[in-house]
């Protein structure tokens, strides 16, 4: 596929000074990849990429990744005077397919206050399919990464938050990622929303690392058939012995698919795990431990 490159630099040395202006310059329904090369800096912008703009790449500098930052929460009022809610709180929201981000930092700086309602503050919402993130970092508190829907691939990414900081209905593969909790008390790393046994969605984490503060569940069942698998992952002592949470609905215990495979570290001790968690065999783990889990051989491109 042919590609075109535009440059964004806050000092005026590029084609555009803002990421938003660069996106606005792209004609709808473009059929070639547009690489938006973003110079280092802190970009205080709220970014929305509609479905009509597929094949976009955000390309940052490996040694000094640019930051896109915001601080909206679910309770903040939008232009219509109504609360944004979680969906629209995202600093960066991607509805388009075939989105790629390389060497980028995304953040939502709104703090989570324990006991406060509607304080969800999303750094990135990804709702398009066949999206890939390489060497990116995601910083937030409650609901950092809204892995909403579609096929997604994350490689060598850093993801930080406190409550449900990776959540949604996506079918996603996280490889060599660092998951860092800043939970103040007890929280959950994932909240996966698979709602039907026939749906292919779920989160798979391979060769990753879990560290941080507080005490966390690996996942809690936002959906009745929530599916999350960790393989070859180092788990620090912050992981609770139970490992998993059914969100107060015991009917989900027989429906969810929560699996672990050849993980290590003090948090990977299976003594004390809930009885409905799965210790996967080689055969059971195989579908989850490669990019083929997200059909990557048909659409992933080299970063």
Supply the residues annotated as catalytic.
164
What's the rounded Cα separation, in Å, for the pair 227 and 169?
9
Collapsing DSSP to helix, strand or coil, 261 comes out as strand
Number of H helices, E strands in the chain: 3, 25
Nearest to 120 by CA among 143, 92, 87: 143
What's the rounded Cα separation, in Å, for the pair 138 and 157?
8
Per-residue tokens: 87: 């969906």
Whether 225 contacts 195, CB under 8 Å: yes
Per-residue tokens: 182: 């800043």
Torsion of CA 241, 244, 246, 248, to 10 degrees: 40
What's the rounded Cα separation, in Å, for the pair 117 and 86?
11
What's the rounded Cα separation, in Å, for the pair 219 and 272?
15
What is the residue-wise DSSP string for 157-179? -EEEESBS-EEES-EEEEES-EE
Nearest to 109 by CA among 133, 76, 77, 63: 76
């Amino acid at each position: 596929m042919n590609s075109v490159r535009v440059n964004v630099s806050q000092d005026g040395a590029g084609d555009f000074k803002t990421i938003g202006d660069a996106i606005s310059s792209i004609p709808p329904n473009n059929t070639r990849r547009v690489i938006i090369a973003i110079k280092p800096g802190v970009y205080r912008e709220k970014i929305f990429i509609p479905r009509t703009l597929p094949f976009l790449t955000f390309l940052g500098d490996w040694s000094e990744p640019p930051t896109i930052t915001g601080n909206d929460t679910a309770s903040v009022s939008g232009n219509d005077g109504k609360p944004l809610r979680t969906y629209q709180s995202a600093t960066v929201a991607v509805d388009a397919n075939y989105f790629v981000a390389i060497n980028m930092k995304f953040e939502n700086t709104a703090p989570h206050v324990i006991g406060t309602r509607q304080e969800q503050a999303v750094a990135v919402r990804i709702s398009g399919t066949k999206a890939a993130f390489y060497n990116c970092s995601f910083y937030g508190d409650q609901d950092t990464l809204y892995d909403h829907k579609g096929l997604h691939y994350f490689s060598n990414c850093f993801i930080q938050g406190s409550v449900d900081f990776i959540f949604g209905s996506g079918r996603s593969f996280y490889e060599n990622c660092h998951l860092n909790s800043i939970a103040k008390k007890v929280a959950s790393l994932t909240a996966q929303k698979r709602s039907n046994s026939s749906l292919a969605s779920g989160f798979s984490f391979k060769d990753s690392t879990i560290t941080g503060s507080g005490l966390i569940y690996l996942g809690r069942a936002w959906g009745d058939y929530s599916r999350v698998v960790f393989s070859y992952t180092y788990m620090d002592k912050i992981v609770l012995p139970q490992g998993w949470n059914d969100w107060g609905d015991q009917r989900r215990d027989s429906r969810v698919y929560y699996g672990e495979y050849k993980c290590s570290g003090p948090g990977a001790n299976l003594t004390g795990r809930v009885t409905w968690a799965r210790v996967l065999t080689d055969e059971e783990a195989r579908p989850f431990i490669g990019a083929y889990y997200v059909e990557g051989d048909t659409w992933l491109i080299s970063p």
